[in-house]
């Protein structure tokens, strides 16, 4: 009889990371493509860890907004990088969960002993976004391309109508509801009675925390400058409640009680991030540090279309499953990294975990997960300060948290929670 026992697993080590500074849409990286940014980010990681000409087990990365020509984005970036050209690569895409999901995929292969080392990453540009022609025009152009005679070509061309010419611009909206993500978040914010001031406070703290982290050199070994930028250009060290309170709501418009502004929501952002993962043995052989291990992860999805749940609430559901599997409570962590897609999302997520009725009714828990210590939340800033290039956020958080845990010392634990379009969410546990 075949041996059906599971192979022994090990925990994948996080060796370090690299990202380029994030740039607001149509600013410093307006002329850079996803491939430019991902390649530069991989090369920065190569330089930091001396990976020149090394064949790694795998490079896994993705982008949310992608040109058709970028079907093999990650492999093309590897070929353009200083890594050995014999390093395999593939693309993944799970909206804003892409970066973290990529890290989980690499970590799992390491855990299973299928690879010894790998890079997980993500990149997005909203500046160099793909424009598509309308479906009608596309059909005409395809038949034109297929036409073999001049007559057929003319026939095909004759079908073009002026109305077909307008390009389709990618929208930051859910295909099934037509609502912008921010408008979805505004619904949730209203449901959970998340106030304007607490959102602004969270945003100010994010800016101040990240500015302080830059000032004390925390990002020196996490970020490599790119195209003249050495810090995220969305970062406002002098952000204040007074300044944020003057902004007008941009989501949930029409509601006089709308709370979500450009100040407490992330802007469209360009950028890329990477994380180097490995087995402990590989790290030791290469003289590289182990900052933390990726202990476990969980993905969940909610039916935001018909199920009456908020678009960005899936991490709320993923968390108790992962905690129970690891015998941990929500309070057993030294640091919490809750992705700040919108300040209201972070606040609604925490409120839901504290709510007995919700935890019992929706999560099936006897008691709520309870509160988390706010002084341990996003202590070096998060997406409201850095900006949020969709697929690059996961890598930013994993590398940043791993370094924090390494500094905190052995046995320290960190929690990641990332919400994603399509009603999905990814959570993970890191441990030093």
Partner 1 sequence: MSDWYRDFANSGFGTTLVKQLGLPRPAVLRRFEPGQPLLPGPAIIGSAGEGRLREALTELLRAEGVHVQSPVTADGATDGEKPAAVILDATGLRTPGDLASAHDFLSPAVKRLRATGRVLILADPPSDADSPAQAAARQALDGLVRSMAKELRGGSTANLVHVPEGAEASIASPVRFFLSGRSAYVDGQVMSVSPAELPKADDDEQLLAGKVAVVTGAARGIGAAIAKVMARDGAHVVAVDIPAAGDKLAEVANEIGGTALQLDITAADAPQRLIEHLRERHGGVDVVVHNAGITRDKLLVNMDAARWNSVMAVNLQAQLDITQALLDTEGALKPNARVVCVSSQSGIAGNRGQTNYAASKAGVIGMVRAWAPQFAERGATINAVAPGFIVTEMTAKMPFGTREVGSRINSLQQGGLPVDVAETIAWLSQPGSGGVNGQTVRVCGQSMLGA
What residues are labeled active site?
96, 388, 419
Q: Choose, by CB under 8 A, the member of 9, 10, 31, 52 that binds partner 1.
A: 52
Q: Residue 158 CB, nearest distance to partner 1 (Å)?
A: 52
Q: Choose, by CB under 8 A, the member of 12, 95, 288, 348 that binds partner 1.
A: 288
Does position 40 bind partner 1 by CB under 8 A?
yes
Does position 219 bind partner 1 by CB under 8 A?
yes
Q: Yes or no: say if 224 and 42 are a contact pair by the CB < 8 Å rule.
A: no
Q: Yes or no: say if 64 and 271 are a contact pair by the CB < 8 Å rule.
A: no
Q: Yes or no: say if 51 and 260 are a contact pair by the CB < 8 Å rule.
A: no
Q: What is the DSSP string of 247-312?
A: PPB-SSTT-TT---BSSSBPPBEEEEEEEEEE-HHHHHHTT----EEEEEEEEEE--TTTS---TT
Does position 333 bind partner 1 by CB under 8 A?
no
Judged by beta carbon, residue 223 or residue 419, the one nearer partner 1 is 223
Judged by beta carbon, residue 50 or residue 170, the one nearer partner 1 is 50
Instruction: Spell out the residues 6+ positions from residue 349 whose beta carbon is closer than 8 angstroms to its own.
Output: 313, 315, 316, 338, 417, 419
Q: Choose, by CB under 8 A, the member of 287, 409, 410, 411 that binds partner 1.
A: 287
Alpha carbon of 252 to those of 173, 261, 265: distances in Å?
14, 10, 12
Judged by beta carbon, residue 221 or residue 373, the one nearer partner 1 is 221
Q: In 3D, which of 134, 207, 220, 131 has the Cα closest to residue 380? A: 207
Does position 50 bind partner 1 by CB under 8 A?
yes
Alpha carbon of 232 to those of 5, 150, 398: distances in Å?
48, 54, 17
Judged by beta carbon, residue 125 or residue 344, the one nearer partner 1 is 125
What end-to-end distance do the CA atoms of the chain give, in Å? Answer: 40
Burial 76-87, CB ≥16 within 10 A → b, else e: bbbebbbbeeeb
Distance separating alpha carbons of residues 280 and 278, to the nearest angstrom: 6
Among the residue ranges 100-108, 138-146, 165-173, 285-293, the one whose residues contact partner 1 (CB under 8 A): 285-293
Among the residue ranges 43-51, 150-158, 179-187, 388-396, the one whose residues contact partner 1 (CB under 8 A): 43-51
Q: Choose, by CB under 8 A, the member of 31, 47, 361, 370 that binds partner 1.
A: 47
Binding track, positions 387-426, relative to partner 1; x by CB under 8 A: ----------------------------------------
Among the residue ranges 57-65, 92-100, 198-206, 282-290, the one whose residues contact partner 1 (CB under 8 A): 282-290
Among the residue ranges 49-57, 146-154, 249-257, 418-426, the one whose residues contact partner 1 (CB under 8 A): 49-57
Among the residue ranges 39-47, 257-265, 324-332, 356-364, the one whose residues contact partner 1 (CB under 8 A): 39-47
Q: Residue 407 CB, nearest distance to partner 1 (Å)?
A: 11
Q: What is the DSSP string of 314-332?
A: HHHHHHHHHHHHTT--TTS
Phi, psi for residue 271 in degrees, rounded to 5: 165, 175
Does position 224 bind partner 1 by CB under 8 A?
yes
Q: Yes or no: say if 137 and 160 are a contact pair by the CB < 8 Å rule.
A: yes
Q: Choose, by CB under 8 A, the member of 25, 33, 44, 274 that binds partner 1.
A: 44
Distance separating alpha carbons of residues 200 and 246, to the nearest angstrom: 11
Does position 80 bind partner 1 by CB under 8 A?
no
Distance separating alpha carbons of residues 177 and 173, to the nearest angstrom: 8
Judged by beta carbon, residue 280 or residue 354, the one nearer partner 1 is 280
CA pseudo-torsion sign 109, 283, 378, 360: positive
- Residue the block writes with tokens 């093999």: 72
Q: Choose, by CB under 8 A, the member of 225, 307, 361, 371 that binds partner 1.
A: 225
Q: Choose, by CB under 8 A, the member of 82, 139, 153, 376 that binds partner 1.
A: 82
Residues in the site for partner 1, rule: CB under 8 A?
40, 43-44, 46-50, 52-53, 82, 217, 219-221, 223-226, 230, 287-289
């Amino acid at each position: 009889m075949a041996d059906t026992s599971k192979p022994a697993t090990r925990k994948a080590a996080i060796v370090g990371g690299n990202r380029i500074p994030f740039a607001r849409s149509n600013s410093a990286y307006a002329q850079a493509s996803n491939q430019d940014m991902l390649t530069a980010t991989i090369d920065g990681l190569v330089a930091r860890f001396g990976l020149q000409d090394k064949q790694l087990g795998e490079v896994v990365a993705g982008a949310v907004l992608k040109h058709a020509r970028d079907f093999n984005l990650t492999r093309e970036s590897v070929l353009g990088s200083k890594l050995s050209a014999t390093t395999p690569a593939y693309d993944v895409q799970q909206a804003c969960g892409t970066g973290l999901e990529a890290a989980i995929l690499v970590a799992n292969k390491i855990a299973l002993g299928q690879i010894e080392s790998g890079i997980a990453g993500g990149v997005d540009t909203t500046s160099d976004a793909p424009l598509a022609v309308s479906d009608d025009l596309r059909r005409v152009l395809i038949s034109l391309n297929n036409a073999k005679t001049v007559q057929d070509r003319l026939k095909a061309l004759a079908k073009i109508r002026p109305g077909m010419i307008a390009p389709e611009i990618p929208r930051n909206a859910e295909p099934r509801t037509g609502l912008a993500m921010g408008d979805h978040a505004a619904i949730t914010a209203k449901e959970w009675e998340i106030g304007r001031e607490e959102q602004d406070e969270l945003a100010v703290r994010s800016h101040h925390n990240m500015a302080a982290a830059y000032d004390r050199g925390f990002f020196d070994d996490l970020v490599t400058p790119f195209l003249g930028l050495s810090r995220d250009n969305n970062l406002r060290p002098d952000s204040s409640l007074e300044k944020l309170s003057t902004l007008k709501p941009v989501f949930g418009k029409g509601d006089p009680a709308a709370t979500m502004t450009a100040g407490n929501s992330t802007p469209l952002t360009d950028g890329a991030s990477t994380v180097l993962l490995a087995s402990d043995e590989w790290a030791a052989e290469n003289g590289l540090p182990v900052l933390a291990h990726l202990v476990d992860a969980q993905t969940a999805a909610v039916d935001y279309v018909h199920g009456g749940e908020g678009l960005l609430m899936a991490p709320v559901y993923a968390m108790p499953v992962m905690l129970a599997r690891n015998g941990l409570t929500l309070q057993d962590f030294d640091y919490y990294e809750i992705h700040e897609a919108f300040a209201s999302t972070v606040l609604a997520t925490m409120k839901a975990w504290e709510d007995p009725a919700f935890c019992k009714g929706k999560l099936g828990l006897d008691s709520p997960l309870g509160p988390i210590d706010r002084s341990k939340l996003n202590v070096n800033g998060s997406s409201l300060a850095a900006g949020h290039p969709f697929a690059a956020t996961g890598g930013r958080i994993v590398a940043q948290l791993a370094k924090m845990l390494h500094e905190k010392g052995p046995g320290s634990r960190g929690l990641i929670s990332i919400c994603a379009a399509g009603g999905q969410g990814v959570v993970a546990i890191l441990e030093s």
